[in-house]
Chains A and B, each alone.
Chain A
Amino acid sequence: MQKNDRTHFILNPGRLRRQDNNIYFDKYDDEMSVVATKILPINAVDEIYILAKVDMDSYTMAFLADNNVLLHIFSPYQSFRGNFFPNTSNSVNKSGFVLLQQLRSFDDEIKRSYIAREITRVHILNDALNCKKYGVKFDTAPHISALEAAKTIPEIMAVEGSFQKLYYEKWNEIITDQKSFKFTVRSKRPPADKINSFISYVNTRIYNVCLSEIYKTELDPRIGFLHEPNYRSLSLHLDLAEIFKPILGDTLIFSMLNKKEITAKDFETNAGRIKFTNEAVQKIEMKMISKLTDQIEAGGQKLTWRQIIRREANRLKKCICENAPYEGFVYQ
């Protein structure tokens, strides 16, 4: 029996509709006729991930907004398309003070590079701990010292980039199945091979978890510190995810590949694009949910991983608003 993270995944084409002040899902077959109906308990769902072709009307979306349910929409190739965030008092009544402070710290060259450097430092340390766990030697000292010398954001990004390249090379020593999961080069949009598509899928999932936790705080996800807020609409969740990608995502990839829970058969290739089968998505999500509902000891409390991400966002807010020193989360 699994613990629920109050999320629901829709993997089959169908229709979401509102009936009896509740959400009904009609599953379609190939001829668009209804084969099964399922009731999603509205008070037991916080987020819905849609990974298939789903019909929905504005009446249903309004009902979801009333109940504070977040929708994450993905393309059939499992790339992120966007999300529907309810426009309720919760999302509108954001503090103007926090937004102003966030803008000011973004403009403040020193403060911005301070936060960016701290995030990158924690990212490097967490990655190195991962390597250590699998018995792979990895020397972080030159990267940390290069990071301390870096003054501007492009320099910090350069340190991070060169570190990430070396880190990904270490993956070949960690992953045992070298025949189908050999890591050569990181490629995105679309990922070129199986290991890249696995990384992309898990990272997207962590970005979304971070995003929904940021929405619960008063921070504005549009203004990021390490990542430039250029043409992407949102970037703060990318910063936050840098800390948690090695802890949650990379360990999940290593353990699932080394225990042979995901093999080369779990991928479908179609016209050069690679995607998971529905069964593989279910396997990964079960692992992900058990990970997110795991409780660990942090600061004298027992917290789930979701709460730790939220705590991290609140710490960032404290650093932005009250000039408190910010120290990132390093998982021991």
Chain B
Amino acid sequence: MYVILFYDIVGAEFKEKNNANRIRKAVEKYLPRVQFSVFEGEIRQSDFKKLAAILQKECIKELDSIIIYTFNSLKYSDRIVIGQDKNQSLFS
């Protein structure tokens, strides 16, 4: 299962609990980072459920927004990169 995830987390001045770091750390454990708030990569179905549950808990529903696209197959997709490609998840 292939996943593209991106989020906008509102800064600390609008709410008492700053959850940006907690959400970032949770996602970083499951998906490789492509841009500052964009993650994409292969993930297992079970891992995806775990991640979604963590995000459900950490997210403040009124202010934050997290959007996830899931793909079962990438047959109809084409990934075009202009400039630097930071998603070299296999090699370092």
**With an 8 A cutoff between CB atoms, is A22 at the interface?**
yes
A289 and B29 in contact (CB under 8 A), knowing A4-B41, A4-B42, A44-B43? no
Q: Does B74 contact A (CB under 8 A)?
A: yes
Measured as residues with beta carbon below 8 angstroms from the partner, the interface class of chain B is 10 to 19
Cβ A44 vs Cβ B47 within 8 A: yes
B61 at the interface (CB under 8 A from A): no
Instruction: State in angstroms the CA–CA spacing of A286 and B92 once bound together.
Output: 14
Contact partners of A12 in chain B: CB under 8 A? 92
Provide 5 A-B residue pairs closer than 8 Å at the C-beta atoms, listed in order of the A residue. Answer: A4-B90, A20-B28, A21-B25, A27-B92, A43-B30
Q: How many residues of A contact B (CB 8 A)?
A: 28
Q: Is A261 an interface residue (CB 8 A)?
A: no
Partner of A41, one of B30, B90, B92: B30
With A20-B25, A22-B29: A44-B41 Cβ-Cβ less than 8 Å: yes
A271-330: which have CB < 8 Å to B?
Answer: 282, 285-286, 289
The 7 A-B pairs with the shortest beta carbon distances in the complex, nearest first, are: A4-B42, A9-B91, A43-B30, A20-B25, A38-B92, A43-B29, A25-B92
Residues from chain A with Cβ under 8 Å of B79 in the complex: 1
Which of B32, B42, B77, B91 has the most A CB atoms < 10 Å from its CB?
B91
Look across to chain B and name the residue whose beta carbon is closest to the beta carbon of A282.
B91
Among residues of A, the one whose C-beta sits closest to the C-beta of B31 is A41
B47 contacts which of A9, A43, A289 (Cβ < 8 Å)?
Answer: A43
Looking at the assembled complex, report how far the CB atom of A183 sits from the nearest CB atom of chain B, in whole angstroms: 30
Q: Is B35 an interface position by the 8 A CB rule?
A: no
Q: Is B56 an interface residue (CB 8 A)?
A: no
Within the assembled complex, what's the spacing in Å between the Cα atoms of A274 and B43? 37
Q: Which of A6, A11, A20, A43 contacts B92 (CB 8 A)?
A: A11
Complex Cα gap A8–B92 (Å)? 8
CB within 8 Å of A: which B1-60 residues: 2, 25, 28-33, 41-43, 47
B89 at the interface (CB under 8 A from A): yes
Tell me which of B2, B30, B74, B90 contacts A285 (CB under 8 A). Answer: B90
**Chain A residues with CB below 8 A from B74, complex form:** 1
Please encode chain A, from 1 to 21, with 1 for each CB lying within 8 Å of some chain B CB and 0 for all others: 111101111111010000011
Which residues of chain B are near A41, meaning CB under 8 Å? 28-32, 41
B28 touches which of A2, A3, A39, A286 (Cβ 8 Å): A39
A289 touches B91 (CB 8 A): no
A48 to B, closest residue via Cβ: B92
Q: Are A22 and B92 in contact (CB under 8 A)?
A: no
- Which A residues are in CB contact (< 8 Å) with B47? 43-44
Complex Cα spacing A14 to B92, Å: 9
Given contacts A9-B91, A43-B47, contact A22 B42 (CB under 8 A): no
Complex CA gap A25/B92 in Å reads 8
Q: How far is the CA of A172 from the CA of B77 in the complex (A)?
A: 40
